[in-house]
Amino acid sequence: MFGSCCHCHRPGAAGFIRGFGPRMPAPIRLRELIRTIRTARTQAEEREMIQKECAAIRSSFREEDNTYRCRNVAKLLYMHMLGYPAHFGQLECLKLIASQKFTDKRIGYLGAMLLLDERQDVHLLMTNCIKNDLNHSTQYVQGLALCTLGCMGSSEMCRDLAGEVEKLLKTSNSYLRKKAALCAVHVIRKVPELMEMFLPATKNLLNEKNHGVLHTSVVLLTEMCERSPDMLAHFRKLVPQLVRILKNLIMSGYSPEHDVSGISDPFLQVRILRLLRILGRNDDDSSEAMNDILAQVATNTETSKNVGNAILYETVLTIMDIKSESGLRVLAINILGRFLLNNDKNIRYVALTSLLKTVQTDHNAVQRHRSTIVDCLKDLDVSIKRRAMELSFALVNGNNIRGMMKELLYFLDSCEPEFKADCASGIFLAAEKYAPSKRWHIDTIMRVLTTAGSYVRDDAVPNLIQLITNSVEMHAYTVQRLYKAILGDYSQQPLVQVAAWCIGEYGDLLVSGQCEEEEPIQVTEDEVLDILESVLISNMSTSVTRGYALTAIMKLSTRFTCTVNRIKKVVSIYGSSIDVELQQRAVEYNALFKKYDHMRSALLERMPVMEKVTTNGPTEIVQTNGETDPTPLETKPPPSGPQPTSQANDLLDLLGGNDITPVIPTAPTSKPASAGGELLDLLGDINLTGAPAAAPAPASVPQISQPPFLLDGLSSQPLFNDIATGIPSITAYSKNGLKIEFTFERSNTNPSVTVITIQASNSTELDMTDFVFQAAVPKTFQLQLLSPSSSIVPAFNTGTITQVIKVLNPQKQQLRMRIKLTYNHKGSAMQDLAEVNNFPPQSWQ
């Protein structure tokens, strides 16, 4: 089209036409482009240069010139790294891959890996090229193909080419064999069903002498073991061979080709140690087979360089994770303790991380290093401080509480603001568990409130108030200290809230000057009211704090004698406050004065001692199974007696709940350990800190008091008045004739609660009896299981068992649940575990 006119005019412009007239100048080399771009002084200038070059590249691509394609793609990749769009080069990469030249293929494959991904259809076009290249005569071309497949191969590509990879896994060419091993890992990740296919090829992998192949083979074996318990069992027989290889590495003496700072191939050693860890976990025989080598590595490794420490660290992790003998474990923890004293902060960091993981299981051993850990609180490095803090809290116990608390309070004073909230919460928790005396407890709380008062979490305030209420003999002391604390400074809201509440409750003790613990102060009623009014007026007080203050003032009307009129005046002023909360309170209190004065003293009476309902907040899972409703299952009396077996104790500890007895009679008594183990699996990833939660005796069960109609379990009536409608139900489980459906209800006013009604039905020809449904959720959720309608699922779908589950999901995370079903069917005990992942988004978003 442009044809004839351009032909005779400007020579350069004729390059648009193929073969007509003078061509465009050759595309500039990558080096020149880079040089040019570096001269740009502003972002705009750079962008202009890039755009110009892109246009040139585009026209060059259109010319279909093979000679310069590879240069152009290289430039495109450079521009892509700087952040400019390069998608128009994708097809060109494919053309390069299809070329015969190694140079072209090299840059083509690189471009494919950087620019393409499996979401684009274009990438499928590569499959054939890769297939051919996997069989190429030049090993480096084969290497490129393996690399690309192993980086970005989609499932379809992997399926098509797995056979080729498997072939290459058996080659004697070590360069290709090691790449094939990693490629196989990628294939297995994409298409797990293909794992079996690689099994025969793994037979000889560990016989290799080449370390590269050994290394990637161990990676492949590790991947297979992690994915499949069957593979894991199968590969356990490799433990002796792995131990031998490791031994050779340690004992072989100087080997220049593998030497890194005097240690023979530390990377391989670390890999092998990791695989040993996986193989030895939960297996006595394997663990025993590796005991010696682990001890050897632990004692002989040179620790002056980082590589030695990497090996030592991996050894420690392995020792802690397998079933090693106690002497070895103590050795491991001592190594970690030595790490803590190392000058290298990286080493200190990993030591603290590992100690944190082991402190639960080997508490006493870690305790020995407590003082070093506490010293780390003073480290300059923020990451180290955080870990030291977490570890310190884990180490606090009844014996060291006083000393630890001193250090922790000092830390709270001086640490960065990002730590203060966590530290304060941790201190409260520790104090609650181990306080040696009530006075100490109150003092500690006071200290936290005064030093870090504004960082204390909101939920701490009610807990503290409850604590103070229950320490009856300390009331006078507490209120006096709190009063003194806010006299100087009432800007820290949690402190002021607690103080206001206490003054409201115990103001009479304050002015009467009766304090046993310390010198009583002289305070008049007016002075007390002064401070409360200042809180009310202050700009620093939040609405919540003001509410506390106003209520406190009101309460004092029954405890003070001379200042009732003043109180009346204050209360009536706030009747017209613009803050609705305050206004409402003031109006109601006013009404109390005017019309219901006879009720006032009764209403404002001292609060009684409160029952502690929950102890650990979000990390606890509350699970009940209708204790007060006698089910046909309970062949044992309600669990107020001593726990029948240690297994029951384990379950109680794990679940932090009370009634698990229905499970025990149905579990086969010949294998008690496995029943507990399965429950452990059920709750696998759930973090339970339920020590105090297990403490409430089963007899005090009615703390979860429910109105009678809920106990029927027939929750066909909606539990909310304003339900969110239209949440689709799901079939959560359907196997062996047992089907469980979940239907959902949510309240618009309380969106973090989801109520799930399960319906279990049975399509087989025999009833399912002794049916028990259990559920567990991840730790950010809370779960409450109400009692089921019955324990028999009748045959032929003639009836259902219904049961209600309430899930609290304050963080609106995706709902997941593991369920365990046990029942008797056709004369045998059935048990199944399942995961429910298909919750509709409307049930949790």
Judged by the rule CB under 8 A, the positions of this chain that interact with another protein are 29-31, 34, 38, 67, 70-71, 74, 77-78, 80-83, 85, 101-103, 106-107, 110, 114, 117-119, 138, 140, 147, 150-152, 175, 178-179, 182-183, 185-186, 211-212, 215-216, 219, 257-258, 260, 265-268, 270, 274, 306-307, 309-310, 313-314, 345-350, 380-384
Comparing CB distances to another protein, the nearer of 123 and 420 is: 123
485, two tokens: 């604390």
Which of 216, 293, 211, 205 minimizes the C-alpha distance to 247? 293
Residue 413: how many other CB atoms lie within 10 Å: 12
CB of 74 to another protein, least distance (A): 5
Cβ 109 to another protein shortest distance, Å? 9
Q: Distance between CA 320 and CA 114 in Å, rounded? A: 40
CA torsion 677-678-679-680 (nearest 10°) is 50
Check: CB of residue 206 under 8 Å from CB of residue 238. Answer: yes
DSSP H helices, 579-690, are 580-594, 597-603, 646-655, 663-666, 672-682
How far apart are CB 823 and another protein at their closest, in Å?
37
Distances (CA, A) of 380 to 342, 377, 384, 385, 579: 15, 9, 8, 7, 45
Provide the residue count of the chain.
Answer: 845
Which residues are CB-neighbours of 746 under 8 A, at least 6 positions away? 720, 723, 724, 727, 753, 754, 755, 842, 843
Give the SS3 label for residue 659. Answer: coil
Q: How far is the CB of 509 from another protein (least distance, A)?
A: 48
The least CB distance from residue 151 to another protein, in Å, is 5
Q: State the Cα–Cα distance between residues 665 and 631, nearest whole angstrom.
A: 13
State which residue, 20 or 267, has the beta carbon closest to another protein: 267
CA distance 810 to 321: 34
- Of 225, 219, 120, 206, the residue nearest 179 (C-alpha): 219
| Residue 144 Cβ vs another protein, minimum distance, rounded to whole Å | 8
With CA atoms as reference, report the closest residue to 685 among 791, 806, 780. Answer: 780
Nearer to another protein, 265 or 659 (CB): 265
Report, in angstroms and rounded to the nearest whole number, the Rg of the chain calculated over CA atoms: 36
Alpha-carbon distances of 58 from 65, 86, 92, 126, rounded to whole Å:
11, 10, 10, 22
Q: Give the residue with the Cβ less far from another protein, 347 or 359.
A: 347
Residue 594 contacts residue 492 (beta carbons within 8 Å): no
Q: Which is nearer to another protein, 96 or 511 (CB)?
A: 96
Angular region, 774: left φ>0, alpha ψ -120 to 50, beta rest: beta
In contact, 759 and 741? CB cutoff 8 Å = yes
Smallest gap from Cβ 200 to another protein, in A, equals 22
Which of residues 85 and 632 has its CB atom nearest to another protein in the complex? Answer: 85
Q: Which residue do the tokens 């502003």 mark?
A: 42
**Closest separation between CB of residue 445 and another protein, Å?**
31
Minimal distance, residue 156 CB to another protein, in Å: 16
Question: How near is the Cβ of 186 to another protein at its closest, in Å?
Answer: 5
Cβ distance to another protein smaller for residue 139 or 207? 139
382 with 344: CB under 8 angstroms? no
Q: How far apart are CA 356 and CA 366, in angstroms?
A: 9
* Measured CA angle at 512 (ends 506, 517), to 5 deg: 75
CB atoms within 10 A of CB 695: 9
Min. distance of Cβ 229 from another protein in angstroms? 18
Place of tokens 């977490």: 390
Q: Which two tokens stand for residue 796?
A: 């032929």
Q: How far is the CB of 312 from another protein (least distance, A)?
A: 9
CB-wise, 307 or 622, nearer to another protein?
307
Token pair 């031998």 is found at: 244
Closest to another protein by CB, 71 or 825 = 71
Rounded distance, CA 651 to CA 772, Å?
15
Q: Helix, strand or coil for residue 24?
A: coil
CB of 673 to another protein, least distance (A): 29
| In the complex, least distance from residue 180 CB atom to another protein, rounded to whole angstroms | 11
- By beta-carbon proximity to another protein, the closer residue of 96 and 499 is 96
Q: Considering beta carbons, is residue 6 or 74 the nearer one to another protein?
A: 74
Write down the least CB distance from residue 257 to another protein, Å.
6
Name which of 147 and 587 has its Cβ closer to another protein: 147
Count of other CB atoms within 10 angstroms of residue 824? 17
Q: Which is nearer to another protein, 31 or 569 (CB)?
A: 31
- Cβ nearer to another protein, comparing 117 with 413: 117
Nearer to another protein, 310 or 460 (CB): 310
Residue 366: is it exposed, middle or buried by C-beta count within 10 angstroms (0-12/13-18/19+)? buried
